[in-house]
Amino acid sequence: MTSTPVLYTRKNPFPAKLVENRRLNLTGSEKETRHYVFSLSGSGFAYDVGDSIGVFAQNDPELVDQILQALRFSGDESVTNKEGESFTIREGLLQNFQITQPSRQFLEAIAQRSEGTDELKELLQSDRTKELEHYLWGMEVIDFLIDRPSIRFTPQEFAATLRKLQPRLYSIASSLKAFPESVHLVIATVRYESHGRPRKGVASTYLAERVTPNSAVPIFVHVAKGFRLPQNPVTPIIMIGPGTGVAPFRAYLQERHATGAPGRNWLFFGEQRFKCDFFYQEEFEFFQKVGVLTRFSTAFSRDQAHKIYVQHRLLENSKDIYAWLEEGAHLYVCGDAARMAKDVDVALHQIVATEGGKTPEQAAEYIEALRKEKRYKKDVY
Are 230 and 259 contacting, i.e. CB atoms less than 8 angstroms apart? no
**Structural domains in the chain plus CATH codes:** 14-57+167-222 (2.40.30.10), 61-160 (1.20.990.10), 225-380 (3.40.50.80)
Q: What is the pLDDT at residue 320? A: 98
Note the pLDDT tens digit of each residue in 147-172.
999 999 999 999 999 999 999 999 99
How far apart (Å, rounded) are the C-alpha atoms in residues 264 and 376? 16
Q: What are phi and psi of 300, to 5 degrees?
A: -105, 105
Residue 370, CA atoms < 13 Å, CB-side half-sphere: 25
Residue 228, CA atoms < 13 Å, CB-side half-sphere: 11
How far apart (Å, rounded) are the C-alpha atoms in residues 347 and 189? 29
Q: What is the pLDDT at residue 213? A: 86
State the pairing for strand pair 78-80/86-88.
antiparallel
Per-residue confidence band for 115, with pLDDT thresholds at 50, 70 and 90: confident
CA angle 58, 61, 62 (to 5 degrees): 140
Are 237 and 330 contacting, i.e. CB atoms less than 8 angstroms apart? yes
Are 22 and 34 contacting, i.e. CB atoms less than 8 angstroms apart? yes
Note the pLDDT tens digit of each residue in 11-23.
999 999 999 999 9
The DSSP symbol for 96 reads: I
Say if residue 2's pLDDT is above 80.
no
Say if residue 4's pLDDT is above 70.
no
Per-residue confidence band for 28, with pLDDT thresholds at 50, 70 and 90: very high
How far apart (Å, rounded) are the C-alpha atoms in residues 215 and 74? 28
Is the alpha carbon torsion for 346, 348, 354, 359 positive or negative? negative
Say if residue 371's pLDDT is above 60.
yes
Per-residue confidence band for 6, with pLDDT thresholds at 50, 70 and 90: confident
Note the pLDDT tens digit of each residue in 45-64.
999 999 999 999 999 999 99
How far apart (Å, rounded) are the C-alpha atoms in residues 175 and 252? 7
Residues belonging to the chain: 381
Q: Where are the beta strands (DSSP E) in the chain?
A: 14-23, 33-39, 52-55, 78-80, 86-88, 168-171, 182-188, 191-194, 197-200, 216-222, 237-240, 265-271, 295-300, 330-335, 376-380
Say if residue 263's pLDDT is above 70.
yes
Note the pLDDT tens digit of each residue in 188-207.
999 999 999 999 999 999 99
Residue of 265, 269, 311 lying closest to 292 (CA atoms)? 265
Q: What is the pLDDT at residue 114? A: 84
Q: What is the pTM of this model?
A: 0.94
Say if residue 1's pLDDT is above 70.
no
How far apart (Å, rounded) are the C-alpha atoms in residues 330 and 165? 36
Say if residue 302's pLDDT is above 80.
yes
State the pairing for strand pair 78-80/197-200.
unpaired
Per-residue confidence band for 36, with pLDDT thresholds at 50, 70 and 90: very high
Are 97 and 164 contacting, i.e. CB atoms less than 8 angstroms apart? yes
Say if residue 33's pLDDT is above 80.
yes
State the pairing for strand pair 191-194/197-200.
antiparallel
Report the percentage of the chain scoring pLDDT > 90. Answer: 89
Are 329 and 237 contacting, i.e. CB atoms less than 8 angstroms apart? yes
Per-residue confidence band for 8, with pLDDT thresholds at 50, 70 and 90: very high
Say if residue 116's pLDDT is above 70.
no
Cβ neighbors of 22 (< 8 A, separation 6 or more) are 34, 35
Q: Mean pLDDT, the chain, as a whole number? A: 95
